[in-house]
Amino acid sequence: MSKQEDVVFRKPPERSRFDIPYGFVVKCGLVLVAAIALTIPMFWWFAMRIEVDQGEFVVLIRKTGPDMTNDQIMAKDDKHKGPQRMILKEGRHFRNPYTWNWTRAMKATVIEQGKVGIKVRKFGKPLAPGQVLALDSSQKGILPDILAPGRYYLNTYEYDVEIADMVKIEPGYMGVVTLEVGSEASDPFAFISGEGERGVQAELLPPGTHPEYSNRYVHLVTPIDVRSQKFEMRDQYAIIFPSLYGFDIKVEGMIEWAPKLEKLPELFVKYVDETDLMASGGINNIQQKVILPFARSYFRTTGGKYRAVDYITGDTRIVVQNEVEKQLKETCGKLGIEIKSVVIKSTEPPAKIREQFQRREIAKRKKEAYEKQIEMQIGSVVMIGQKPKLGADGKQEFDANGDPAMIGGTPKVDEDGKPVREGGRLTQVIQQRKKDRAMQIGQIRETIATQIREAEKYRNVEVTQATKDVTVARINLEAAKDKAAGVKAEGLADAAVLVMGFKAEALGVQDKVDAFGSGDKYATNLLINKLAPGISEILSNTEGPFAKLFERFASLQTGSGESAKTAEPARVEEVLKSVKIPQPSPPAKTNEEKKPDNTEGRKQQ
């Protein structure tokens, strides 16, 4: 039989009623071990673990150990109870909760750019009377050192941190340093303290950042504007002073000044107060308490030497301005103020004097303007023998136009005794016109010479042609005379023939008249022969115009026969005389005779 069979069939021992089964004990032990194995890690993880996030920290507080005294706020060391100097930064930490306690996570102190941190120690010995800074590590109070920009894990049970602005001096400014802590001044009446002594220091801070001077409990830095300042003397700051004869003169101007760097701390102590520092940076007090009183005094003493009318002209103003500037530079320079310039912008004498002078000046300016216009038109007179005008300093003076001023000399005259001028619009126009006229005269003379030459050529041609025409005309004249004589002879012959024909006709009529005995009878016969064919009836009435026609014949027949005979020859002669014999016409002129003789005219041309 096997061993297992022996165990199974062995007779078990007798048990008491209080006996615990071995298997149960083993199981309970295993459960206890498992519980302990699970509890320890859970306790370690959940009860002892300290999680600190980034940028945070926690302060440890010991629960066990010797107690602190009443005057202590920090544990003396890590064996004593109370807040510890040691802190836990970001990360994972494990501490026994029986021995240690810890605060909630606190933010680290972050100092931004342009800022500084001033530490104040909370524990240690109290400061001595009159002491401001904790110079010993065993003392509590303000520490002289500062914290630069960055992140700091400072135990809040140990330190407080005051965030302050870093001292920054802007361009154009200088920092005046006042030491707040140190020994007493060796000379209590001095404006500037020595090195290490409380008070205003001689050292100046240049433009830039100065973190070492940013602890306001150690150094007080006051930026002072050292740029050039312009003090406007107007309105309530205008200066009024009496002139030589008692007239009030009001002066407005400007004073440009700047503080001297070597005297700046002393100026700060003497004239700058807190109110003025907040209002203008200390500028107003220097202007109103130093510069303005001196300026008023010098304007009264220097400006009161002149008449009121003298201030209307520019010369007196410049003289007074230069003299006041000189005195201000000398006086203010000793006080640490550099006077750069004094400018008088305006002076106001009494109204009546000013108006009278203004009218005179306006008339003077108009006269100068008119003279200038005239000079621009006709030019300036050329002077001979002038000399440069020299001032009191022996230097060349200049006129209002910036040209060298000249004196003396006599005007230059031309051949007519008139002053010679140069420049000017009219003078230039006259000179140009003279040039144009000379040019035109030259052109005309050239044209005349050309025309004369051409006329001479034409005259020679025309004279030759005229001589030829005269010769031809003379020949034609002789021919015309011969022809005229022939025509005249022919005309006379024709006239003689006509006369003889008229005479023959007249003799035939005479014979007829003689046959009738008288001319009236012949005329009556001729009339009756002409009228008889046309008369068909003869009226018996003897009245009327037609009967009167025949009355004439009746009166003729009753006349004397002798008288008729003597009258007929006379009437025939009258008829012959009344007959006009046509005269022969003159011979017609040839073309050569009709052409006028222009030889004389051409000669005249």
- Structural domain contains residue 92: yes
Q: What is the mean pLDDT of residues 2-29?
A: 57
Q: Which of 100, 115, 131 is the last residue of a domain?
A: 100
Q: What is the pLDDT of residues 380-410, one digit of tens each?
A: 777 777 778 777 677 777 776 677 777 777 8
pLDDT at 88: 87
The residue range of the domain holding 47 is: 21-100
Highest-scoring range by mean pLDDT, 169-178, 348-357, 476-485, 526-535: 169-178
Q: pLDDT-based confidence at 322, cuts 50/70/90? A: very high
Q: 38-47, 51-60, 275-284, 571-580: lowest mean pLDDT where?
A: 571-580
- Structural domain contains residue 243: no
Q: Which of 505, 509, 507 lies closest to 518, judged by CA?
A: 509
410 strand-pairing partners: 384
Q: pLDDT-based confidence at 151, cuts 50/70/90? A: very high
Q: What is the pLDDT of residues 517-560, one digit of tens each?
A: 777 777 888 777 777 777 666 555 556 555 565 565 555 444 44
- Structural domain contains residue 341: no
- Structural domain contains residue 508: yes
pTM as predicted: 0.51
pLDDT at 339: 94
pLDDT at 275: 85
Distance CA 425, CA 380 (A): 11
pLDDT at 598: 44
pLDDT at 14 over 60: no
- Structural domain contains residue 585: no
Q: pLDDT-based confidence at 19, cuts 50/70/90? A: low
Q: Which of 100, 135, 158 is the last residue of a domain?
A: 100
Inter-helix orientation angle 425-516/351-378, to 10°: 60
Q: What is the pLDDT of residues 580-599, one digit of tens each?
A: 444 444 444 444 444 444 44
pLDDT at 158 over 90: no
427 or 333: whose pLDDT is higher?
333
Neighbour-count burial of 446, counting CB atoms closer than 10 A to its CB (0-12 exposed, 13-18 middle, 19+ buried):
exposed
Q: Which of 100, 116, 148 is the last residue of a domain?
A: 100
Q: 27-36, 201-210, 565-574: lowest mean pLDDT where?
A: 565-574
pLDDT at 588: 45
How many domains, in total, are found in the chain?
2
Q: What is the pLDDT of residues 102-120, one digit of tens each?
A: 888 888 899 999 999 999 9
pLDDT at 596: 45
Tell me what the pLDDT averaged over the chain comes to.
80
Helix (H, G, I), strand (E, B) or coil at 179: strand
- Structural domain contains residue 191: no
Kindly list the distances between the CA atom of residue 302 and the CA atoms of 48, 187, 248, 320, 552, in Å, as whole numbers in the listed order.
91, 40, 14, 6, 149
Q: What is the pLDDT of residues 326-360, one digit of tens each?
A: 999 999 999 999 999 999 988 888 888 878 888 88
Tally of CA atoms within 13 A in the half-sphere of 399 that contains its CB: 8
- Structural domain contains residue 224: no
pLDDT at 153 over 50: yes
- Structural domain contains residue 592: no
Tally of CA atoms within 13 A in the half-sphere of 203 that contains its CB: 13
pLDDT at 2: 43
